[in-house]
Structure 1
Amino acid sequence: MKYIYVAIGSISLVLGVIGIFLPILPTTPFLLLSAALFFRGSPRLYTWLLAHKYLGPYIRSFREDRAIPLRAKIISVSLLWITAIHCVLFLFPYWWLKGIMAVVTIGVTIYILSFKTRSPR
């Protein structure tokens, strides 16, 4: 069972890292899932993930006070909207596809902004 936890945790970690660069894919939920699975499957990987210079703060911040840093909010919402506008204007030929993209973009924006903003420590 530990191998399954580590395998799924690794896939979740890859998706979380991809989510840093792709605004439609959420980062924090995948990293939280990775942490939970690594906790059950490999204490060494769990410790590594929490101590990671870039990924660890996402997890620790969210677990401690369910807050997202202001910089992360600004970057994620900005990239989300830039990507969505590009897709709607240049890639999607059908109005219904443009509508779905708009609804998803608005929903993800509301979701991101619904979390508290973490104050600098």
Structure 2
Amino acid sequence: MVGGLCVGLGILGAVLPLLPTTPFILLASACFMRGSPRFHHWIIHHPTFGTFIRDWQEKRALRRSAKHRAMALIVLSFTVSIYFSPFLWLKIALLIFAIVLLLWFVQLPVIEHLADDEENH
């Protein structure tokens, strides 16, 4: 039940500003892994989310391209939210939250493709 809710919120987060996608999908994966092997298999092999989840579960890291796309979407969604926000205090709060989120996100490890390719050959 919680896993399904997390998948739904993750899908909504893909199209709604300020609602994150990745944490909900990762939480759904953790729930499915424990509660439903069938759903866990589905989400791990999902064409959109599967690669990100496997990278995080196996290496606790993101691919550089995914990290750059995510950072661009964070900046875009916060910029739109700040622009349309009617209150100055909310604009300031959103800006602070965006800066903190980006500072945290930049710290996440990156998967180096060259190192992975050399290990596999």
Task: Name the TM tier (shorter chain).
Answer: 0.7 to 0.9
Report the alpha carbon displacement of residue 23 of structure 1 after superposing the two structures with TM. Answer: 5.4
Corresponding letter in the other structure for 1:119:
E
Matched with 2:94 is 101
- Listed as ranges, the gaps of 5+ residues in structure 2 are 117-121
2:75 is the alignment partner of 1:85: no
Higher normalized contact order (CA 8 Å, seq sep 6+, divided by chain length): 1
TM-score (norm 1): 0.81
| Of 36, 42, 60, the match for 1:48 | 42
Q: Taking structure 1 as reference, are residues 28 and 82 closer, same or farther at Cα in structure 2, changes over 3 Å only? A: closer
RMSD across aligned positions (CA)? 1.8
How many pairs does the alignment contain?
114
Report the alpha carbon displacement of residue 68 of structure 1 after superposing the two structures with TM. Answer: 1.3
2:42 is the alignment partner of 1:38: no
Conservation of the 8 A alpha-carbon contact between 2:17 and 2:78: no
Give runs of ≥4 in structure 1 deviating > 4 Å.
Answer: none
Q: Secondary structure at the match of 2:86?
A: coil
TM-score (norm 2): 0.81
Q: Deviations over 1:44-66 (max 9, x none)?
A: 11111112222111111011111
Q: Taking structure 1 as reference, are residues 35 and 11 closer, same or farther at Cα in structure 2, changes over 3 Å only? A: same
The separation in 2 between residues aligned to 1:39 and 1:83, in whole angstroms, is: 31
Q: Taking structure 1 as reference, are residues 21 and 118 closer, same or farther at Cα in structure 2, changes over 3 Å only? A: farther
1:39-78, aligned counterparts within 5 Å?
A: 39-78=33-72
- Listed as ranges, the gaps of 5+ residues in structure 1 are 1-6
Conservation of the 8 A alpha-carbon contact between 2:17 and 2:81: no
Conservation of the 8 A alpha-carbon contact between 1:49 and 1:56: yes
Q: Secondary structure at the match of 1:54?
A: coil
